[in-house]
Amino acid sequence: MLISGRGSNLQALIDAASDANYPAEIALVLSNVAGAPGLERAVRAGIATRTISHRDYASREEFDAAVEKILVDAAIDLVCLAGFMRVFSDGFARRWQGRLINIHPSLLPAFKGLNVHRQVLDAGVRISGCSVHFVVPELDSGPIIAQSAVPVLTTDDESALAARTLAAEHALYPMALALLAGGRVKLADGRSVFSETPAHAGSLFVPTA
């Protein structure tokens, strides 16, 4: 898992993976920010951690190559981005295509990029949510694996909407990773292809709390 900060999605995956029946094991947590609070969550769970700062590398490609070496040396199969605030080079994204996923706090393809909840409120949509998707070179644009919808309340500000969405993320990411690690979704010809799973796999609706 690659993080840059708080690591609450990391925690959700740590909790899910603590079940012996979960189809993935979190082998390594890598942060590009020293002291990221998520690292402490990994340490508490007995998971190996690495910190590698992009500031120590002259180019995006050199940083990505260093990350890649760490992943290969640790025999990593799948990479989950969770609040990892770096954009990978096209080469890295292509090499890990189908094995690299991200969570984004909107119903993609709407509201890509940063300040997502501000964008959602400004647009006036009444339903928002979160998406887990395969990473491709273009930002927040890869094939979608799973989505969860949350209501946008008339009383919402950015932090209220972010909190409701984050709770949905914590249910969605473990479910999406289980689909991928369990071989029930794969990337083929630029699409998410599902097999041996219910037709509604990947669709979650979170009622108003």
Residue 170 dihedral angles phi and psi, to the nearest 5°: -70, -25
User: Quick check: is 200 catalytic?
Assistant: no
Which residue sits closest to ligand GRF, CB atoms considered? 83
Of 12 and 179, nearer to ligand GRF (C-beta) is 12
Buried b (16+ CB within 10 A) or exposed e, 161-198: bbebbbbbbbbbbbbbbbbbbeebbbbeeeebeeeeee
Binding site for ligand GRF (CB under 6 A): 3, 5-10, 38, 82-83, 103-105, 130, 166, 169
DSSP state of 135: -
Question: Least distance to ligand GRF from the beta carbon of 169, Å?
Answer: 5
Give ∠ CA 98-99-103 in degrees, rounded to 5. Answer: 95
Of 65 and 180, nearer to ligand GRF (C-beta) is 180
Question: Least distance to ligand GRF from the beta carbon of 191, Å?
Answer: 22
Buried b (16+ CB within 10 A) or exposed e, 4-15: bbebbbbbbbbe
104, 117, 133, 170: which is the annotated catalytic residue?
Answer: 104
Question: Least distance to ligand GRF from the beta carbon of 196, Å?
Answer: 28
Of 3 and 177, nearer to ligand GRF (C-beta) is 3
Of 130 and 187, nearer to ligand GRF (C-beta) is 130
Instruction: Considering only CA atoms, give the Rg of the chain.
Output: 17
Question: Least distance to ligand GRF from the beta carbon of 48, Å?
Answer: 19
Q: Supply the residues annotated as catalytic.
A: 104
